Structure 1
Amino acid sequence: MRILLIFCHPYEESYGAALFDCAQSALAARGHDVRALDLYRDGFEPILGREEWLTYIGETEKNIAAVKSHVDALQWAEGLILIYPTWMYGPPAMLKGWMERVWLPGVAFDVAPGKHKRAVGALKNIRLFIGITTSGSPWWWLRLVRDPGRSLFMRAQRVLFHPLCRMRWLQLHNMNHTTQEDRARFLNKVERALSKV
């Protein structure tokens, strides 16, 4: 399977980096064709600027050209795996900015055909999505506030993918209070999940 692996964390020796390494190893062991993008190390510019906003719908091809290698990778992929820390109940600004600049009209979706209609998904090539994240909050609190980060990907963005897309969410809660054993157990969980892809 062609898998696009996106990593987003500013610190190269973070636990997230260990998850990224684990994912790359597990996917390679299964023989997948993997393209890995490390948004911070690659120096991705996450800000959707004025000029891009002005051409966002009417001249989208200009915006696509500005991030063509990322668009090509997204359209090439059959599987998409995101690894990031949950901050303020959602993805870091870098990852959100990557989505805003790369998941463009004509790439990830087609603009809604009319009033009271939703956008139509254009990433039908994505047949597998896995979100891997850590969060400082306990699971019960995230459930109480309806887990915005998980809902973003597992519910809202799901409509962009193939209708039969397999979806999986892996999250380590209470990150600020985890033990070494907790973190090792979660790494093993991620490795086991990816070894079945």
Structure 2
Amino acid sequence: MLLSITIWIPFYDRILVPFLAKFTHEPRGLNPKIRMGAGMILSIIAMVVSAIMETIRRDLANSNTPVDMSATWLVPQFVLLGLTKAFNGIGQLEFYYSELPNSMASLVMVMFTVSMAVASLIASLLTNSVDSVTGQGGDVSWLSSDINAGHVDYYYWLLSFLNLLNLLYYLICCRIHRSFSSSERRLSHAVDIEG
């Protein structure tokens, strides 16, 4: 994941930004909101790929035949997760910097760090909740320590669905932000004309 972030960021910054800037007329290639949205879409794809890979792995493990799977089967989902973090994290920082005045630059890092902390807390609560709910009544939890008995693939499908809901919520927020920003620009333009 870190390797894909390390490769992607210079590639995006040095090669894609100049190319995209010609078409989008954005100095950073893509608008920060588009980058965040792309990160969310990549997150959904990463969870779907993870679910599919886990289903294949589990089916092979439970087929009573020797399993000959390499850890490289995990590479696609970790590359996608790295791209997710690169798009969404950097897009988020650029969005905060573009929306807040320069005097509040330290607040940008605080907001970003707090959002990461809250996300980790929610992920932990979600994992514990899924483990408790799916393990009730003597059933094997999806997140059982015996991964062949559990259903980590179901958990990935759940994360895919939650990421989809998050993307829909994000699109609604973008629409509200765009309406708010455009009405704010019209107001400031009217004040400039009157002044």
> Same fold by TM (over 0.5)?
no
Highest CA radius of gyration, 1 or 2? Answer: 2
Higher strand proportion, which one?
1
Q: Normalising by structure 2, what TM-score?
A: 0.28
TM-score, normalised via structure 1 length: 0.28
